[in-house]
């Protein structure tokens, strides 16, 4: 049931469906029987926020815990904001209609900098003090995450907790710390110290920031014992560890992206210069059912790689006996969706040595479909040609054992020819023949 003030406000605004809740897929629980209440706030209108896949993922993930309740709140449009201020109606969540002050934690997603003023407007509507230094233990923890959190200092003073990286492990760990802290009756300071130990979590109050004269950050120094000097972005190593949302909320008011979303790649591989998210998530994460074995020098130790095993560097004479794998990948450049730059151009006109190496070892190859080698590989059943590495999971999934055995047989036959010098012999004979013709 809606309280009288809310009913009055809804009768005076456009699109009241933005503010009513009750959509199919919404999660309702008995608030007296839950241990942690989390308000997920999207600092933009309902139509924009309901298009955000990240909210659907975290909403279902948190609500999968029987004693946690994650609810949603959005920035109201100008007409509803004016009515809420006129009636003294605090910002509330769509599920319970409770004000944000009733929650253990209030989380904001930082998707783009233009939403920052909306974050302050939502805190103001909720009656929550802006600055973390002004909030004692009676206020909920104010949490932030999302791509803009990687440049946290401009807004650090407003938040108690900032998550750097991917939230599927961080946010449940934060909620678990809140639950345990409530049961033990610990202080906010002790709770934040525990949360600070979660990988990828930055607690601004536990660091002293010094600036250069021009405003650039000179240093960030911990001021509490046990706090990491460097906060490293959290990265999910295996995307299969988290099932995609299967019962997400279906909006009753048309969303900007009015369709179901399926995540097949974490991040963007195009690297457009104007796009922050394209650089924060620069290394796109393939479906980890595809496993890669890396050989060679210059491997960066300690850099998280999804589905990658580094096998080391070997002398050329030992490498053929060491190579293992279902396919040999012939791919150059720093993008997953194509081979770009100088090396991509090289592949269009030349056959790289690594293709011969794989085939000489009897390993079928995967090549770029725009490369000079692509037609020959496909015609002679030596491997497959793909336009993007994102195609690999689908191509491999639909490949039968008989098709793969055909490719292996083609690679073994070509490998035998390469090892006895048949291809080089053809070139030399052609050269001798052309030289004789010139001489005559």
Residue 106 lies in a domain: yes
Residue 237 and residue 331 in one domain = no
Beta-strand pair 68-74/207-211: unpaired
Residue 86 lies in a domain: yes
pLDDT at 263: 75
Q: If you write DSSP's letter for every residue of 253-293 in order, what string do you get?
A: S--TT-S----SSBS-SS--TT-HHHHHT-S-B--TTS-EE
Q: Strands, DSSP E only, in 12-95?
A: 36-42, 68-74
pLDDT at 120: 97
What is the extent of the structural domain holding 329?
292-427
* Better-scored residue on pLDDT, 128 or 244: 128
* Better-scored residue on pLDDT, 183 or 393: 183
Q: Write out the two tokens for 76.
A: 């109201």
Q: Write out the two tokens for 160.
A: 């108690």
Question: Please, what sign has the CA dihedral across residues 247, 251, 256, 259?
Answer: positive
Residue 331 lies in a domain: yes
Cα 212 to Cα 83, 86, 224, distances in angstroms: 44, 44, 23
> Which H or E element spans position 202?
strand 201-202
Cα separation of 25 and 95, whole Å?
11
Q: How many folded domains does the chain comprise? A: 2
Question: Quick check: 438 pLDDT over 60?
Answer: no
**CA angle (379, 384, 387) in 5-degree steps:** 115
Residue 222 and residue 368 in one domain = no
Cα 396 to Cα 264, 371, 388, distances in angstroms: 15, 20, 13
In contact, 75 and 43? CB cutoff 8 Å: yes
Range with the largest mean pLDDT of 119-133, 146-160, 163-177, 318-332: 119-133
pLDDT at 306: 61
CATH code (residue 414): 3.40.50.2000
**From 12-16, 59-63, 321-325, 432-436, the region with the lowest mean pLDDT:** 432-436
Residue 56 lies in a domain: yes
Question: Quick check: 284 pLDDT over 80?
Answer: no
In contact, 63 and 131? CB cutoff 8 Å: no
**From 4-18, 60-74, 412-426, the region with the lowest mean pLDDT:** 412-426
Q: Write out the two tokens for 140.
A: 């909920």
Q: Which of 241, 261, 277 is the last residue of a domain?
A: 241
Cα separation of 301 and 413, whole Å?
37
Residue 278 lies in a domain: no
Question: Quick check: 439 pLDDT over 90?
Answer: no
pLDDT in tens, 198-221: 999 999 999 999 999 988 889 999
Cα separation of 192 and 224, whole Å?
11
Residue 248 lies in a domain: no
pLDDT at 209: 94
What mean pLDDT comes out for the span 361-372? 91
pLDDT at 345: 82
In contact, 331 and 366? CB cutoff 8 Å: yes
Residue 137 and residue 222 in one domain = yes
Strand partners, 105: 38, 141
Residue 12 lies in a domain: yes
Q: What percent of the chain has pLDDT over 90?
A: 56
Average pLDDT over the chain, rounded to whole?
A: 88
CATH code (residue 235): 3.40.50.2300
Predicted confidence band of residue 313 (pLDDT cuts 50, 70, 90):
confident
Q: From edge to edge, which strands make up the β-sheet containing 383-386?
A: 328-330, 365-368, 383-386
Cα separation of 51 and 85, whole Å?
27
pLDDT at 350: 84
What mean pLDDT comes out for the span 32-52? 96
pLDDT in tens, 340-365: 778 778 888 888 888 888 998 999 99
Cα separation of 114 and 278, whole Å?
17
Residue 33 and residue 156 in one domain = yes
Question: Quick check: 32 pLDDT over 70?
Answer: yes
């Amino acid at each position: 049931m809606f309280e009288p003030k809310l009913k009055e406000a809804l009768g005076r605004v456009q699109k009241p469906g933005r503010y009513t809740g009750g959509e199919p897929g919404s999660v309702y629980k008995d608030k007296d029987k839950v241990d942690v209440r989390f308000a997920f706030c999207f600092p933009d209108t309902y139509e924009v926020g309901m298009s955000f896949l990240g909210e659907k993922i975290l909403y279902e993930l948190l609500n999968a815990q029987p004693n946690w309740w994650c609810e949603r709140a959005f920035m109201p449009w100008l007409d509803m904001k004016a009515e809420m201020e006129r009636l003294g109606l605090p910002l509330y969540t769509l599920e319970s209609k409770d004000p944000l002050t009733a929650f253990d934690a209030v989380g904001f997603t930082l998707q783009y900098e233009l939403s920052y003023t909306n974050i302050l407007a939502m805190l103001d509507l909720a009656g929550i003090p802006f600055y973390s230094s002004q909030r004692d233990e009676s206020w909920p923890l104010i949490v932030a995450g999302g791509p803009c959190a990687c440049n946290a200092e401009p807004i650090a003073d407003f938040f108690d907790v900032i998550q750097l990286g991917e939230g599927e492990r961080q946010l449940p760990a934060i909620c678990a710390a809140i639950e345990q802290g409530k049961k033990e009756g610990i202080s906010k300071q002790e709770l934040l110290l525990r949360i600070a130990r979660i990988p990828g979590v930055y607690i601004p109050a536990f660091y002293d920031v010094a600036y250069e004269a021009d405003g650039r950050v000179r240093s960030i120094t911990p001021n509490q014992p046990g706090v990491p000097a460097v906060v490293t972005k959290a990265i999910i190593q295996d995307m299969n560890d988290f099932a995609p949302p299967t019962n997400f909320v279906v909006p009753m008011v048309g969303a900007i992206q009015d369709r179901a979303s399926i995540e097949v790649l974490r991040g963007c591989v195009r690297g457009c210069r104007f796009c922050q998210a394209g650089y924060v998530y620069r290394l796109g994460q393939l479906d980890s059912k595809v496993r890669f074995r890396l050989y060679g020098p210059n491997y960066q130790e300690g850099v998280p790689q999804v589905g990658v095993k580094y096998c080391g560097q070997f002398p050329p004479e030992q490498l053929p006996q060491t190579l293992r794998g279902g396919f040999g990948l012939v791919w150059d450049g720093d993008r997953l969706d194509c081979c770009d730059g100088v090396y991509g151009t090289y592949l269009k006109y030349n056959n790289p040595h690594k293709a011969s190496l794989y085939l000489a070892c009897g390993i079928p190859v995967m090549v770029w479909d725009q490369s000079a080698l692509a037609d020959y590989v496909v015609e002679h059943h030596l491997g497959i040609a793909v336009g993007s590495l994102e195609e690999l999971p689908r191509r491999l999934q639909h490949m039968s054992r008989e098709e793969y055995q055909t490719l292996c047989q083609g690679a073994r036959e070509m490998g035998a020819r390469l090892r006895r010098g048949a291809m080089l012999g053809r070139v030399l004979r052609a050269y001798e023949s052309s030289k004789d013709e010139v001489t005559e």
